[in-house]
Structure 1
Amino acid sequence: MALLTPEDLENINKQLQAADSAVRRVTGLDIKGVCKDFYGTTPCCEKVGIVPVTSGNGIIGSFSESLHAIAGYFGFDSFVTDMPDVSGYYEAVRNGAQIILMADDNTFLAHNLKNGKIANNQPCTGIIYAEIASRYLKTDSKDVLAVGLGKVGFPGAAHFVNKGFRVYGYDADRELLDKTVSSLGIIPFDPVNPDNPGKFSIIFEATPCADTIPESVISENCVISTPGIPCAISKELQRKYGVELIMEPLGIGTASMLYSVL
């Protein structure tokens, strides 16, 4: 979780409300509704223990408090432990937590102690952002552009492939792109190639870079579903093309994790 900053997490409830509105416009459901429908699960009084972790770069300011707000937003009873690390884990279990949320620099996980299910934030985030985009009500196109094919982008691209979409993929790391083409059968996309298929109504972006989506691929009223920070598209291009932007720093991926372990 090292890419997040306290500034990214400011006004998390307001960010979730804005994301809910965007997801409704795209899918007809809110975030909770998409997660419930996709995973086939519903919260039922599960208690979530949030454990701060000090290893690596340490605790991100307001991260645990943001998780507490997110869990409450989606209907879960949650608490943040007073102690961090192993002591915090022990405290969470002693205080009746059924689901543990905790993160270090490399892994953000949800673990359901009751049924043994465990979820990693990276694939859960990629999959739910892809699922939201795949439900776009204003298009019947089966073409998707996936930009960024790493630990979040690869699961998202795979999800589109599994749902029968024709996926065009790009990553600045050529080795990673070639590996994804080989394993998923996606079509390599070259942003400077004039023979590209043109504009897309569905774009999935999962990189840590700004302005990664070229104007040449953006269609009117397209949906761009991006868990990447910073934003993949400028505000000017959003307004120019009427883009439906699905982007939020933490809550959508966390909801996906929680619903996946119920």
Structure 2
Amino acid sequence: MALLTPEDLANMTDALVENDRLITELTTYSLDGLCRKIYGTAPAKEKVAIIPITAGGGIIGSFSESLLFTVQHFGMDGFITENTDVAGWYEAVTKGADIILMADDLAYIAHNLRNGKIAHNQICTGRIYAEILCHAKGGKDGGDDKDVLVLGLGKVGTPALETFLNEKFNVYVFDVDSNRVNEIASQYPVFKYDSEKEPKSFFKIFEATPCPDTISESVLKQNSIVSTPGIPLGISDELIEKYNVRVVQEPLGIGTLSMLYAVFDEK
């Protein structure tokens, strides 16, 4: 999780609450309700342990506290281990943890010790942010909401496009790496998006890049929905206001809840 900084997490708690409200408005499902629907699982009084990890870039300030807020906000029992790394794992297990949350520079995972399930943040984040768009209701300007634009085809964008394809969406893809676009197009039934050759605007846009201003005015419709785990935000405040864009973006909690539901037992 080296891309996150304490500044990214400064307003995480407020952002999670506001995004939960927006997701409910867009989909009619609360965030945990949507996770129940897509994963077919439910919490069953599992105790969640958050283990700070010092490897690589080290511990990100307020990261563990943000995870604990997410766990407790959605009604689960959780705690942060006093020890780090292996000692933290030992502490978590001896204190009766059922699920472990931990992250280093390369991976952020949830591991259910009870059933053996394990979930990776990049995959679960891509899926939940895509599912939000899949379930978002089309208004008067969203009649073609089976079209979706995916910007960024990395480790988050690829699980997202797989989710859209599973839900029978027409998926248009773009990445600054043209070789990656060609690779994806050879593996999946997607459309390469070219704003110059075939300009097109979208009601639903998924953005997963580490760059600002990736969403241009030409792809927007009035009342477009942008679902983006990307940091920084890929659309300007001016375009958000001009097109009344609804933006789902929060740095950590949405993906974390998706991970937890991915490892819960089936209902």
Q: State TM-score, norm by structure 1.
A: 0.97
Which of residues 248, 251, 259 is equivalent to 1:257? 259
Matches within 5 A, 1:11-90: 11-90=11-90
Q: Secondary structure at the match of 2:238?
A: helix
1:195 corresponds to which residue? 198
After the TM superposition, list the runs of 4 or more consecutive aligned residues in structure 1 that deviate by more than 4 angstroms: none
How far is 1:176 from its partner?
1.3
The answer to which of 236-245 and 6-15 deviates more is 6-15
Q: Secondary structure at the match of 1:168?
A: strand
Gaps of 5+ in 1: none
How far is 1:162 from its partner?
1.2
Instruction: Name the CA distance, whole Å, in 1 between partners of 2:181 and 2:75.
Output: 39
Number of residues of Structure 1 aligned to a counterpart in Structure 2: 260
Which of residues 242, 245, 248 is equivalent to 2:244? 242
Instruction: Name the CA distance, whole Å, in 1 between partners of 2:185 and 2:148.
Output: 14
Q: Secondary structure at the match of 1:106?
A: coil
RMSD: 0.9
Instruction: Name the CA distance, whole Å, in 2 between partners of 1:88 and 1:17.
Output: 29
Instruction: Name the CA distance, whole Å, in 2 between partners of 1:31 and 1:83.
Output: 31
How far is 1:25 from its partner?
1.8
2:94 corresponds to which residue? 94
Percent of aligned positions that are identical:
52
1:210 corresponds to which residue? 212
Instruction: Name the CA distance, whole Å, in 1 between partners of 2:131 and 2:41.
Output: 16
**2:242 partner amino acid:** K
How far is 1:175 from its partner?
1.7
Instruction: Name the CA distance, whole Å, in 2 between partners of 1:119 and 1:34.
Output: 17
Instruction: Name the CA distance, whole Å, in 1 between partners of 2:75 and 2:184.
Output: 37
Contact map agreement 1:13 1:73 (CA 8 A) in 2 = no
> Is 1:174–2:178 an aligned residue pair?
yes
Gaps of 5+ in 2: none
Deviations 1:207-254, CA, capped at 9 Å, x for gaps: 111110111000010110000000010111111101110100000000
How far is 1:75 from its partner?
1.6
Instruction: Name the CA distance, whole Å, in 1 between partners of 2:76 and 2:213.
Output: 35
Instruction: Name the CA distance, whole Å, in 2 between partners of 1:224 and 1:11.
Output: 20
How far is 1:158 from its partner?
1.0
How far is 1:140 from its partner?
4.1
Which of residues 162, 165, 168 is equivalent to 1:161? 165
**1:259 partner amino acid:** Y
How far is 1:194 from its partner?
3.9
How far is 1:42 from its partner?
1.5
The answer to which of 9-18 and 248-257 deviates more is 9-18
Q: Secondary structure at the match of 2:224?
A: strand
Q: Secondary structure at the match of 2:155?
A: coil
1:221 corresponds to which residue? 223
Instruction: Name the CA distance, whole Å, in 2 between partners of 1:127 and 1:151.
Output: 11
Q: Secondary structure at the match of 2:231?
A: coil
**1:224 partner amino acid:** V
Q: Secondary structure at the match of 1:105?
A: coil
Q: Secondary structure at the match of 1:89?
A: helix
Q: State TM-score, norm by structure 2.
A: 0.95
